[in-house]
């Protein structure tokens, strides 16, 4: 009775979002890392094992394997998209209204040689890019206390405050694309060297070893109303022209401090419990370019954009729902270059219709 486990597969990819250097989207990466064949790929989405027990001072759970994030998120998925799966371990503790979530997730690895691995070796952001630097893992360490209150059958609330430390995270998997093909508002000129990627998202900026504060608040209110809020505050980061291999990150020319705050607030009405139930909602998103990682955040709202999300769902049957979403986004910083309208901002909208079946 103390053991739970789960295994799941999915089409078009594995646990992590495709790195942003090769495509204009954040499509799922295939098992072999080839995004071009993603539509036909089948990946292992979940493979986890959990042991839980009440030791007399709360329920303790230990989770190992490929799993959804153990820490609380909001519907708006500012920090982590709900589709992202992690490889690693998590520990949870729930004692009445109070809980603690810990996690250690391996995100990838940096491979290098072992030359010069002497006692006088010094490790810093520059040496990590050198070919003779020893290999290391990229890891996300998370700590999150939570508080839950239930006032009645119609009223409940949850508050979480977490801290996330990204260790060894460098390279293209942890770079955000800059809108507008070079943008002096982000400290990037049109002539900056970068990997060719169309004419919209051409340049990239790195986020080295982010340190993020993460706050989540959810309210369940009478009359089937729901309110949620999520805030992410990253450490101060400075960006500029994309780095070249073998050079340290975050040494741009010119140096520009980036917006390291992302937040979203939303309101919903309705519920989805049985056939013919419905839910409609609205949320506002605002993401600074240096706040979150595009590889992990809500893949419909990239860093550097703000906008409005209108969505609705209808249960055709107890286990079958139809969903509709309309999203409109605008670049936070306009294209500020000589000979170009200083107020020019990239804008786009998205319609999405989807269905879901629960077994």
- Alpha helical stretches, state H, 143-209: none
Eight-class DSSP state of 260: -
- Provide the residue-wise pLDDT of the chain in tens; the chain has 359 residues: 789 999 988 765 433 433 333 333 333 333 333 344 444 556 778 899 999 988 778 899 999 999 999 998 888 899 998 888 899 999 999 998 999 999 999 987 765 554 444 444 455 555 555 555 556 788 999 999 999 999 998 899 999 999 999 987 766 667 776 665 444 445 444 444 333 333 344 456 667 788 999 999 999 999 999 999 999 999 876 654 444 445 554 444 445 567 889 999 999 999 988 999 999 999 999 998 888 988 888 888 888 889 999 999 999 998 899 999 999 998 887 654 444 445 567 788 889 999 988 77
Per-residue pLDDT at 102:
95
Location of structure tokens 């098992």: 31
* CA-closest candidate to residue 198, choices 170, 178, 176: 178
Beta carbons within 8 Å of 208's beta carbon, 6+ residues apart: 125, 169, 170, 174, 237, 249, 250
Per-residue pLDDT at 239:
56
Per-residue pLDDT at 117:
43
CA distances 195 to 24, 205, 238, 242, 289, Å, are: 12, 12, 20, 9, 19
At residue 249, φ and ψ (nearest 5 deg) are -80, 165
Per-residue pLDDT at 202:
47
DSSP 294-307: TTTS-TTS-TTEEE
Query: Six-digit token pair at 32?
Result: 């072999």
Calculate the CA 99 to chain-centre distance.
23
pTM score: 0.77
């Amino acid at each position: 009775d103390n053991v739970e486990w789960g295994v799941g597969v999915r089409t078009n990819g594995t646990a992590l979002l495709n790195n942003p250097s090769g495509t204009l989207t954040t499509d799922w990466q295939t098992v072999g890392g080839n995004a071009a064949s993603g539509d036909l790929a089948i990946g292992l989405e979940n493979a986890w094992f959990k042991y839980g027990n009440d030791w007399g001072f709360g329920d303790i759970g230990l989770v190992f394997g490929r799993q959804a994030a153990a820490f609380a998120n909001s519907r708006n998925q500012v920090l982590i998209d709900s589709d992202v799966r992690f490889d690693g371990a998590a520990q949870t503790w729930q004692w009445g209204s109070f809980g603690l979530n810990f996690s250690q997730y391996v995100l990838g690895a940096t491979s290098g040689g072992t030359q010069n691995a002497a006692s006088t070796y010094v490790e810093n952001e520059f040496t990590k890019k050198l070919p003779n630097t020893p290999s290391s893992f990229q890891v996300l360490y998370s700590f999150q206390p939570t508080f839950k209150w239930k006032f009645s059958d119609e009223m409940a609330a949850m508050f979480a405050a977490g801290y996330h430390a990204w260790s060894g995270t460098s390279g293209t998997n942890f770079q955000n694309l800059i809108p507008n093909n070079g943008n002096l508002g982000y400290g990037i000129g049109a002539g900056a060297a970068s990997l060719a990627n169309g004419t919209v998202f051409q340049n990239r900026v790195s986020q080295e070893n982010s340190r993020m504060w993460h706050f989540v608040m959810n309210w369940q209110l009478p009359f089937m109303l729901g309110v949620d809020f999520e805030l992410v505050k990253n450490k101060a980061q400075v960006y500029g022209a994309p780095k070249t291999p073998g050079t340290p990150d975050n040494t741009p020319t010119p140096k520009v401090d980036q917006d390291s705050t992302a937040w979203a607030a939303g309101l919903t009405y309705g519920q989805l419990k049985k056939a013919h139930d419905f839910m409609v909602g609205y949320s506002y998103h605002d993401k600074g370019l240096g706040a979150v990682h595009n590889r992990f955040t809500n893949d419909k709202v990239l860093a550097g954009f703000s906008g409005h999300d209108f969505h609705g769902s209808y249960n055709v049957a107890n286990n079958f729902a139809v969903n509709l979403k309309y999203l409109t986004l605008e670049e936070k910083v306009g294209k500020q270059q000589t000979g170009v309208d200083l107020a020019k901002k990239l804008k786009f909208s998205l319609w999405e219709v989807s269905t879901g079946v629960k077994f």
